[in-house]
Chain A
Amino acid sequence: MIQLNHISKSFGDKAVLNDISSTFENGKVNMIIGASGSGKTTLLKCMVGLNTVDTGEVLFDGRNFFNLDFNGQKEIRKEIGMLFQGGALFDSKTVEENVVFPLSMFTDLSEQEKKDRANFCLNRVNLENVNHLYPSEISGGMKKRVAIARAIAVQPKYLFCDEPNSGLDPKTSIVIDNLIQEITEEYNITTVVITHDMNSVIEIGDHILFIYKGNKHWEGGKREILKTDNPEIIDFVYATKFMKELKSKF
């Protein structure tokens, strides 16, 4: 479980996050949504420690990340898997080497055991016969799946996904969404997904946090978000003409 307590963050004079608190439970897909520039990526970076917070605390199962020293933070980071927007696979390594990499760094498994684990993770994300390929030789959707495989290789307790569907076609997006949901339930991980893809939200969002201009504006489940009369959420969820027409029919 991850708890955010009164997180605030500014860049210079510009306040990006104001007093955000929330709880993300394990075994659930927690989604942070909001318009571009609303502060959701900054919030994610604060949660994983890529940005520091001005005030507030991030608790990973009760451990306050920002109160820990370098080594303490490193221990928490070893429990984190992250899926970046562009995959962030290492260009100089093959698909298999990318998945093996965290295992080589943090485990004492033999070469064969690492290979077996990498193959298991790649099979889990439905990838076969791509082990020897480099990231530049595979499609965007495959890169995301390799990144998921790399993230789950060390059996993380927390999984963060930054815009997992950006740049993907609708069908591949569904594949990625389903994978995230299955993995979350299967390994009982605390998953936090940053997105502005409403299809994903409706499809897999167990808990949704809506950020508006750096503030926590709304929080709830996927059924509630469709029924809310909050004007900012309605503007966001039903942004397109098609969605507006759909809403008027129901």
Chain B
Amino acid sequence: MRLFYHFGRYYLLLKRTFRKPEKVSIYRARIFEEIDSLGIGSLGIVAIISVAMGAVITIQSAFNFESPLIPPYAVGVAARDSLILEFSPTIVSLILAGKVGSSIASELGTMRVSEQVDALEIMGINSASFLIQPKVLAAMVFNPILIIFSMFFGIIGGYVFGILTGVVTDYEYVLGITYEFRPYNVTYALIKTVVFAFLITSVSSYHGYYTQGGALEVGRQSTKAVVYSSVLILVFNFLLTQLLLV
């Protein structure tokens, strides 16, 4: 029964969130602020993790492809497809669920317990729309860009570390990453990313927005936001893969 309660309340919050903004110019500015804080602020961590993962995927693939029947460029193919299909959209989204999700939940939770949300409501401002809508839109717009960066950094990481460690040659790797490339895979990854961005921001906002109590509860809601958005990412990853790839 609690599940239905939360689902209903989540739906009602979304309905309030996507009402017409009070002043479009202010909302537009808020979206750019959120892109800066949630998106651009995550570029560093995404780049570091993507380079490292690209390097590890390349080295592990080379280590496992010892059979003479598998061509050497398969290392590049494996690195490319692993990064584009799964690592960049899903694993990076999971990392963002941790970083961005906890940040959103704790920000909104703190605003709730310190009555800042009430202050907005009393001023006649739709607090859900003012606080949550820019976050959701910013993530849905900017996360795909982050994921493209992640793919790029991952492939570069695989290239650099593959060559440095001598597991693959320059020619084989480049041949691999271009071999039978399907642009649809990138589209699939970006569709997943947009859905995941919506889940991360809306679920985390839900937990933060309805925080009750004090600092302890803000921490609890932050943790819940990360856990639930991560679980939902995994569930929707499965559903979207079935829908879009199979």
Contacts and interface: CB of A to CB of B under 8 A. Distances in A.
Interface stretch (A86-94, A181-189, A218-226, A236-244): A86-94
B26 A105 contact: yes
Interface string A99-132: 0001011100000000000000000000000000
Which of B22, B23, B115 has most A Cβ within 10 Å?
B115
A174 interface: no
A84 B22 contact: no
Contact of B26 (A78, A84, A86, A104): A104
Contact of A82 (B22, B119, B125): B119
| Chain A interface bracket (under 10, 10 to 19, 20 to 34, 35 or more) | 20 to 34
Interface of B: 22-23, 26, 110-111, 114-116, 118-119, 121-126
A84 B119 CA distance: 8
B26 A80 contact: no
Interface of A: 48-50, 74-78, 80, 82, 84-86, 88-91, 102, 104-106, 160
Contacts of B124: 74-78, 80, 106
B116 A102 contact: no
Contacts of B125: 105
B122 A105 contact: no
A84 B123 contact: no
Contacts of A104: 23, 26
B146 to A, nearest CB: 23
Interface-central residue, A50, A75, A102, A105, by most chain B CB under 10 Å: A105
A105 B118 contact: no
Contacts of B114: 86, 88, 91
A78 B124 CA distance: 5
B125 to A, nearest CB: 6
A50 B124 CA distance: 11
Nearest to B125: A105
Given A84-B118, A86-B114, A105-B26, 11 more contacts: A48-B122, A74-B126, A76-B124, A77-B121, A77-B123, A80-B124, A88-B116, A90-B116, A105-B125, A106-B123, A160-B122
Contacts of A89: 116
24 contacts: A50-B121, A50-B122, A74-B124, A76-B124, A77-B122, A77-B124, A78-B123, A80-B122, A84-B119, A86-B114, A86-B115, A88-B115, A88-B119, A89-B116, A90-B119, A91-B110, A91-B111, A91-B116, A104-B26, A105-B22, A105-B23, A105-B125, A106-B123, A160-B122
Nearest to A154: B123
Nearest to A45: B118
Contacts of A75: 124
Contacts of A102: 123
B19 to A, nearest CB: 8
A74 B16 CA distance: 14
Contacts of B110: 91
A194 to B, nearest CB: 13
A69 to B, nearest CB: 13
A26 to B, nearest CB: 18
Q: Which of B22, B23, B111, B123: most chain A Cβ within 10 A? A: B123
A102 B124 CA distance: 9
Contacts of A48: 122
Contacts of A106: 22, 123-124
Contacts of B126: 74
Nearest to B124: A77
A104 B123 CA distance: 12
